[in-house]
Every structure is written in structure tokens, then in C-alpha cells.
Structure 1
Amino acid sequence: MKETREKALGRTTRPRVFLFWYSSSVADYTEQHAKSGIDTELPSIECWPNQFPGYEISVAMPEFTSICPKTGLPDFGTITVCYRPDKLCLELKSLKGYFTAYRNLGIFYENAVNRILRDIVKACQPVSIKVTGDFSTRGGMRSVIEAEYPSPSTPSSGR
């Protein structure tokens, strides 16, 4: 009886709706979306000479914002940078300007975290660094992206 009423109203069942949504949404992603923002020019990150060895610095930007290149909607999150400086330390005012430049940049947040890592490593050559992006829930899912330098070694397969 319910099926007959659903057909009379022209409604489809949930699995068909999901399959339509899934196939059409995945197909709409392009190489242009994937590469968006990766090589866009951003403000430089300045550094100053480190005076002490062997310590760690953690910096958090709790109001990080970027734009989804596919939907144009804002992505909100907290970016945390934990690094062990070598010869240079990050200058915080320039780092804040760098982070703020993402506000109008179309970039997937997975790419944003990896780009931040790349740009900071290029600026100050730390002994080690971990960049974490903890992004606000969207569509019932929260994402945490982590990128490290040097890259953690891949476990050997025993061969």
C-alpha cells in the first residue's frame, strides 16, 4: 500500500536517490577542483634567527577559513602547527597574514593542510613539523587532516 502511494506521488526509493546523488556528485569533480589553490601566490612567511636548540613550538589558528572550490561554501577549522625549529623560527604576524589569505582561496582542506606544511618547510627548514587541520562538522562528518615533515617512514613489508 505504501509502495503504491509512493509511486502515485512520483517518489523514488532512497537507494535510487542516493545512487543518483553519488554518481552525479562524483562525476562533477574535476582536475581543476583538485588542483585549485595549490599554487596560488600567498603572502610570504617571515622568520627570525633561533637562539636555542632542542625545543618545540606550537601555534594554533582557531579561526582558519578557506573556500570549497566545488561548492563555493566556506570551510571552517583550526590549524595547529607544532614544529622543532632549526636555525629559524616563524614570525607570527606574517604567519597570521599567510593564514588569513586562505579566507578567499578556493582549496580543498586536505590540500590546504599539505600546502601549509610545504610553505612552512620552505620558509624555515624546521627539524620536524606536524600541521593538523581540524575542520568543523559538515554534513554530519568532521575531518582531521595531519601532514608531517619529515614524512613518517612507511613500515616495511618484511621483504
Structure 2
Amino acid sequence: MANTDVSGLTQLGSHVDLPTSPEEAKLERVPHTHEGERYVVRFTSPEFTSLCPLTGQPDFAHLMIDYVPRKWLVESKSLKLFLGSFRNHGAFHEDCSVMIGKRIADLLDPEWLRIGAYWYPRGGIPIDVFWATGPEPEGIWIPEQGVPPYRGRG
């Protein structure tokens, strides 16, 4: 069994305050010890929060991030801190969702990555945002995200 090299990590195993902005947040990665093995990694953040850039009111979403790694895996504590840094960040749903996907994709250069951001309604309208680096790769099982559409009192 291969050991993952964690020597370059600065946050894992240390006390780290929540970054005050996504730009300040440091996403970290670790080597993929099963390079060449094709599988999906999924992160779920059912209580993601950001702020409306106009009103300052909180917005809530259920995020699903799926990726097929190449040489790198995202380090989960740094991802948690990065996502938490949006709590005081004012941006529209679409901007937050795409920013998260692009930032992770830039860090990892995965074979494929998608983010499904299922936002709770504001003003009576839920906004769901879906972004991917490209089409789903063939020959690999990619499970449905399984987040039902918002039904309200329907």
C-alpha cells in the first residue's frame, strides 16, 4: 500500500482559522497514489453558504463535486476551509458555483470534474447551477448526484 506524501501540506494537522475570502483560502493537493486507476471522487457540502452581493442576505446550497483524478487529489481539510470562506463572500449563485469548479480544476488538472450546485430559493425561485470541464468520460461509472429538485410545498 502506497503512502501519500503530505510533506507539502500546511493546514492538515494544524489549527487554521477560516479564511475571510475565497481568494485568501489556500486549496492544497496530495499525490494520487493510484495514478492510472480511473474512478470518481465525490465531495458533498449540503450546508454551503454565501451572501447575496446586493442585499447581504445569506444564500444556501447543496453542493456536489465529482472528479476523476489524474496525478492529484484535493486535500479535504483545505477544501472544507475554501468552501467555508464563502460564508462572508458576496456573489451571485452562478459566480460562486463556477468559481469553485474552476478553482478545483485549476489545482488538480483532473481528467474530468463537475459541480452541481443546488441553491435554495430566494424570491421564490431556486437556481441550480451545473458546470463541468467537459463531457463525462466514457468507461467509468459516474453516479447521479441524487439531489432532488426543489418542490416547496408542492
Aligned counterpart for 1:65 among listed residues 39, 49, 52:
49
After superposition, residues 91-106 of structure 1 pair within 5 angstroms as 91-106=75-90
**Cα distance in 1 for residues equivalent to 2:128 and 2:62:** 10
Instruction: List aligned pairs for 1:14-33, cutoff 5 A.
Output: none
1:80 aligns with 2:64: yes
TM-score, scaled to structure 1: 0.68
Residues 29-82 of structure 1 deviation map (CA, whole Å, 9 limit, x = unaligned): xxxxxxxxxx96231111111122200011011110000101111100111100
Unaligned runs of 5+ in 2: 1-20, 137-154
Displacement of 1:151: 6.4
One-letter code aligned to 1:51: T
SS in 1 for 2:127: strand
Hey, what does 2:132 align to over in structure 1? 148
Larger relative helix fraction? 1
Aligned counterpart, 1:121: 105
Number of residues of Structure 1 aligned to a counterpart in Structure 2: 114
Q: Which amino acid aligns with 1:42?
A: E
Query: Cα–Cα, structure 1 residues 40 and 84, in superposed 2: closer, same or farther, change >3 Å?
Result: closer
The 1:141/1:97 distance shift into structure 2, 3 A limit, reads same
Q: Which amino acid aligns with 2:112?
A: S
Which ranges of structure 1 fall in alignment gaps of 5 or more residues? 1-38, 153-159
Deviations 1:81-136 (A, max 9, x none): 00000000011000000000000001111000110111001111110000111011
Which protein has the larger Cα radius of gyration, Structure 1 or Structure 2?
A: 1
Report the TM-score, using the length of structure 2 for normalisation: 0.70
Rounded Cα–Cα distance in structure 1 between residues aligned with 2:66 and 2:121? 23
Deviations, residues 5-45 of structure 1 (Å, cap 9, x unaligned): xxxxxxxxxxxxxxxxxxxxxxxxxxxxxxxxxx9623111
